[in-house]
Chain A
């Protein structure tokens, strides 16, 4: 074996091994045990700061971990023909990226989380910058600076909370008990929210995404879309809501964020509809899908959050598959321009079938994963804010509006003089796509095992927000800076403590 083949094989085997190990995670996770972390482990890291290397899994991170370990070997297998230079560096960066992302999803210590969160930038920066398209450096630097802006402010927010909590520990469980006034919560919510909103990306902050997606090599786009974007929405559910329940439950914040989600859905659908570059089109659909996720999260009810989680998984599968398929088309024809293709359905029926299923999942056709998620998210939104739901639902129609013409043009139109003659999928490509399509169908037809596992953890998030809302109403008409509210994590302590400076008592 030449070193290049060796590098490929090591990367593939290693990441597959990680996936096999993560199946044990899935089997070992017991949803009946409630909302806490399971399989937790912890080692001291920086004693002086109270930083520990502590990892754990709950109903939220379980799915993100599974998604990461599932997508990475697929992306690596999909890269075999696409990456032609510096293979060794490429595959080591892919594995480093997987390491960092798994760290983000499993760390239960804020310092550790931040380190991993930032660490994901470095491999992605180089993957886009070295193996990307013509404007790769522009895209890579834009991606890096944009996401750093948010995360650096989040670092200040994390350290502020740490100082506020007595400079003892960075553990998430410790952070949950830090008393914060309403104004503090709003500021910190802003800092955390900005970091995650850029990562998601939420509507006005999304401009880095089309560049990064279009310039990135196929495996880079796949990991970026399927996994890295989820770090933002994961951060919303894991940190933003439980840490700052008062801010999250205030109606203005929820309305603004849901509004941005809806604008994102509609705006990006329209933008996607006029794209001539197929990859750019799919990139914009990512923003639209993430709009649904944000909508579901800030509906702040069980349906909404479950829908959001399902969309996150579904988007990971379907968009990953679409990027892989576009990469396969590009390898064959060296073009991504929609108008250059035509009549592929007769030449490459398998490729067409795979593309159709993935695109249907992206649109949200019943029977695919996209439908389950968007349906739940829309129900949740309707329960919370019906107007939003009406606008957002039209986004599903728009999804058909931008996706179907592309399919029509690439696969079913008559061949023109430019359209290349293509081979159908090779065995390797079938191996790449098959698991994704199975996932899409499974989630579309029988999502219960997923929902059972995520429900307890999501419910505890909702309970915490509800509790905060209740206390806010109970303590009446004020949310002054002196007013401190401690909301305990449901299930750990019955008492809901309201700390000293309750103005009514004074």
Chain B
């Protein structure tokens, strides 16, 4: 496939197209039926969405037979973009599984809800595969606008509306900066195609000053989306206000998609001007790691706590861009895999504890969980240790890869900052763990509020699936390291 003909694009974007088709189907079914709430409708739509994900996954798998890393189109069909699709489809699938009981219980508008989730994933998939700044922008906007709407999808919740509006206003602002950056880069290199931009940087004489300002603005746009300090202000509020499964989805999929694009643009195609942006990102990374972890210490709401923990993880991942070598790239991909599993698993646990509502989100609610539900608590402990980067979990191997990548390029200070901020993060991860295992339950009776019905079964299976995978990644990581090495852009 060399993109000499237009239908090649249809093949290249098959997973996105399939997913869009299913999203529209879900919408149409919803329109043709009565509006809200029925449990059956939710389950039906959820199953259709899952089927869509499976079909898109199949399309993605088939793409491995035709993929061509030397493609000259504006869409890359390389193992990197296919890997990104796997990650995004996985997080979408898990997010939908968490969503089904939640949407059912809260009576949200199921068709719009599932369709928006899928549209968002389509946007992220487009973005992480594109080799053109304009297409990246389009993908980013598809994803962002879907998420703005998702954040405010619960009309009864004022916090949800606040979160949506806040996210929208700040997001629009950052999009503006991003676009301005694209314009400046175009001005400097007279192209928006990443391959041509890289050529101009390598051989020609770009307008240096304009290019650098453009690159920094582009970076700011990305940093906003992955919530790097000081562009993170929206994150805790939006995470807290959004419906729980939406928060779960945002915290992994948006971060993964944007980070994979961020890496492709900066570490690969703007690598020629690495000297200019790496120092800026270096500072941002240190601020993010230390700042976010320090603030997270004082949080009592688990959603806010995970918001800050997510910001800190963005800081760790930023290191892989700064030290853009093969090891750090494997680090990015491996760490993202472990992060997606760990964070979604954790959110499934939170949904279990809060009984698919926006209550019982403070850390005290976890008191005595180890006595009441030992297996849920055990799985949550695994996720917490993985996010903390403890040996035996996938998070540890990811962290080791990031550290190795940074050390290969002699970023010793970054490594020390990473481990010290990890130490800070142990405190709040352990805090949840000690509430679960070392405190007695608050209410001894507590049966009326304890989860019931078929939903916990679904959540339980997510918990088992993700925790087993995380431990597997931690103990037998070889195969997965090989796989992410195969997906690498930088060999």
A354 and B423 alpha carbons, distance in the complex (Å) = 42
Asked if A148 and B400 make an inter-chain contact with CB atoms under 8 angstroms apart, the answer reads no
| A486 interfacial by beta-carbon distance below 8 Å | no
Asked if A153 and B419 make an inter-chain contact with CB atoms under 8 angstroms apart, the answer reads yes
| A87 interfacial by beta-carbon distance below 8 Å | no
The segment from A5-13, A34-42, A112-120 found at the interface with B is: A112-120
Q: Which of B209-226 contact A (CB under 8 A)?
A: none
Asked if A118 and B390 make an inter-chain contact with CB atoms under 8 angstroms apart, the answer reads yes
Residue of chain A at shortest CB distance from B485: A48
In angstroms, how far is the closest chain A Cβ from the Cβ of B297?
A: 12
Residue of chain B at shortest CB distance from A44: B478
| A130 interfacial by beta-carbon distance below 8 Å | yes
A136: chain B residues within 8 A (beta carbon): 438
**Cross-interface CB contact of A160 among B407, B439, B481, cutoff 8 Å:** B407
| A129 interfacial by beta-carbon distance below 8 Å | yes
| B272 interfacial by beta-carbon distance below 8 Å | no
In angstroms, how far is the closest chain B Cβ from the Cβ of A160?
A: 6
Asked if B426 and A148 make an inter-chain contact with CB atoms under 8 angstroms apart, the answer reads yes
| B430 interfacial by beta-carbon distance below 8 Å | yes
Asked if B482 and A48 make an inter-chain contact with CB atoms under 8 angstroms apart, the answer reads yes
A115: chain B residues within 8 A (beta carbon): 391-392, 396
| A152 interfacial by beta-carbon distance below 8 Å | yes
Asked if B403 and A159 make an inter-chain contact with CB atoms under 8 angstroms apart, the answer reads yes
The segment from A137-145, A295-303, A388-396, A446-454 found at the interface with B is: A137-145
A126 and B381 alpha carbons, distance in the complex (Å) = 11
Give the interface SS of chain A, mostly helix, strand, loop or mixed: helix
B439: chain A residues within 8 A (beta carbon): 137
Asked if A122 and B407 make an inter-chain contact with CB atoms under 8 angstroms apart, the answer reads no
Asked if B392 and A152 make an inter-chain contact with CB atoms under 8 angstroms apart, the answer reads no
In angstroms, how far is the closest chain A Cβ from the Cβ of B392?
A: 6
* Most chain A CB neighbours (cut-off 10 Å) among B438, B439, B478: B438
A47: chain B residues within 8 A (beta carbon): 478
A323 and B423 alpha carbons, distance in the complex (Å) = 31
**Cross-interface CB contact of B478 among A48, A114, A119, A153, cutoff 8 Å:** A48
| A149 interfacial by beta-carbon distance below 8 Å | yes
Give the interface SS of chain B, mostly helix, strand, loop or mixed: helix
B407: chain A residues within 8 A (beta carbon): 156, 159-160, 163
Asked if B404 and A153 make an inter-chain contact with CB atoms under 8 angstroms apart, the answer reads no
Residue of chain B at shortest CB distance from A85: B371
The number of residue pairs between A and B whose CB atoms lie closer than 8 Å in the complex comes to 76
Asked if B434 and A46 make an inter-chain contact with CB atoms under 8 angstroms apart, the answer reads no
Q: Which of B366-419 contact A (CB under 8 A)?
A: 385, 390-392, 396-397, 400, 403-404, 407-408, 412, 415-416, 419
| A175 interfacial by beta-carbon distance below 8 Å | no
A141: chain B residues within 8 A (beta carbon): 427, 430, 434
Asked if A156 and B419 make an inter-chain contact with CB atoms under 8 angstroms apart, the answer reads yes
Report, as a range, how many residues of chain A touch the other chain: 20 to 34
| A162 interfacial by beta-carbon distance below 8 Å | yes
Asked if B391 and A153 make an inter-chain contact with CB atoms under 8 angstroms apart, the answer reads no
User: Chain A 177-218 against B: per-residue CB contact (8 Å), 1 yes, 0 no?
Assistant: 000000000000000000000000000000000000000000
A137 and B438 alpha carbons, distance in the complex (Å) = 7
| A155 interfacial by beta-carbon distance below 8 Å | yes
In angstroms, how far is the closest chain A Cβ from the Cβ of B381?
A: 9
A104 and B403 alpha carbons, distance in the complex (Å) = 22
| A416 interfacial by beta-carbon distance below 8 Å | no
With A46-B478, A140-B434 known to touch, is A119 a contact of B412 (CB < 8 Å)? Answer: no
With A118-B391, A160-B407 known to touch, is A129 a contact of B419 (CB < 8 Å)? Answer: no
Known: A141-B434, A145-B430. 17 other contacts (CB 8 A): A46-B397, A46-B478, A48-B481, A48-B485, A118-B391, A136-B438, A141-B427, A144-B426, A144-B430, A152-B419, A152-B423, A153-B419, A155-B400, A156-B403, A159-B415, A167-B404, A167-B408
8 A-B pairs with the lowest CB-CB distances in the bound complex, closest first: A152-B419, A115-B391, A129-B438, A163-B407, A118-B391, A156-B415, A48-B481, A159-B403
Subset of 28 A-B contacts with CB under 8 Å: A46-B477, A48-B481, A48-B482, A48-B485, A49-B400, A114-B391, A115-B392, A122-B385, A126-B437, A129-B437, A130-B437, A130-B438, A136-B438, A137-B434, A140-B438, A141-B427, A141-B430, A141-B434, A144-B426, A145-B423, A145-B427, A156-B403, A159-B400, A159-B403, A159-B407, A159-B415, A163-B404, A167-B408
